[in-house]
Structure formats: structure tokens, C-alpha cells
């Protein structure tokens, strides 16, 4: 890989980070607190003086409600609806994963925007 291409993707990422932060109307300090990093780290990310670790970049994507593109790689994180996060753990159902209940004949499968319920009646 040429040094120019190596520098290019880092600069594009730095620009994306700054643009996303500004679009979210956040200061560097506010973003730093959300990410649990120092303000200086955010400044470094935006000035191409360092690349965030993947977990920091993923958290940044969530907090800024955006995605980042690095060459052909897209970093985006789909967040569960805030309503679902407040549901007690024992009542929470995972999306796209069927839930079965021992001794019952009902299967419930939550999907984005719908819940599929199938029931089998014993003969």
C-alpha cells in the first residue's frame, strides 16, 4: 500500500468524525465525555493525529447516529430502540430470534416493526 493511500483514508476518517460531531451540535468536550476519552483525543481524531480504536469508533457511530466509511469498510452500529432498553430483562426479546417456552406451543419472533406469533394446537 502506498503511503499516500494510507494517509488518505486516515484524513477522510478525521473529516468524517469532525463533520458528524458538528452535525450533532456537540462540542469536542461533550463527545469526549460520551466516549470516555479525553478532549485531546477527540482533537487528535479530528486532526488526523491518531485513529480511534474500533470500539471507540463504534461507540462514536452510535452516539453521533452515523456511520463511518474507511476505504470499502463501513462502520455502523444499529442501536436497539430506547423503549426496548427500558423493558425489564426478563421481558426483553431479541430481534430475529425465535423464543420458545417449555411446555407451551407458542413461538414469538420479534422483527423490526412487527412481532410474529405462531401457535400450534395439539391434536
20, 66 Cβ separation under 8 angstroms: yes
Q: Which three cell numbers stand for residue 115?
A: 412481532
Domains, the chain, in order of start with CATH, read 3-75 (1.10.260.40), 87-119 (no CATH)
**How high is the pLDDT of residue 90?**
47
Mean pLDDT, residues 66-70 taken together: 87
Compute the distance between CA of residue 62 and CA of residue 60 in angstroms, rounded to an integer. Answer: 5
More confident residue, 78 or 11: 11
Q: What percent of the chain has a predicted confidence (pLDDT) above 70?
A: 67
Q: What percent of the chain has a predicted confidence (pLDDT) above 90?
A: 34
**pLDDT surpassing 50 at residue 24:** yes
**pLDDT surpassing 70 at residue 123:** no
Amino acid at each position: 500500500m502506498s503511503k499516500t493511500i494510507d494517509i488518505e483514508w486516515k484524513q477522510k476518517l478525521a473529516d468524517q468524525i469532525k463533520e458528524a460531531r458538528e452535525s450533532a451540535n456537540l462540542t469536542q468536550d461533550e463527545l469526549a465525555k460520551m466516549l470516555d476519552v479525553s478532549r485531546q483525543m477527540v482533537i487528535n481524531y479530528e486532526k488526523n493525529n491518531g485513529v480511534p480504536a474500533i470500539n471507540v469508533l463504534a461507540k462514536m457511530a452510535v452516539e453521533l447516529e452515523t456511520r463511518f466509511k474507511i476505504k470499502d469498510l463501513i462502520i455502523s452500529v444499529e442501536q436497539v430502540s430506547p423503549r426496548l432498553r427500558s423493558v425489564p430483562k426478563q421481558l426483553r426479546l431479541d430481534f430475529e430470534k425465535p423464543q420458545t417456552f417449555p411446555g407451551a406451543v407458542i413461538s414469538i419472533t420479534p422483527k423490526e416493526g412487527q412481532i410474529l406469533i405462531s401457535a400450534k394446537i395439539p391434536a
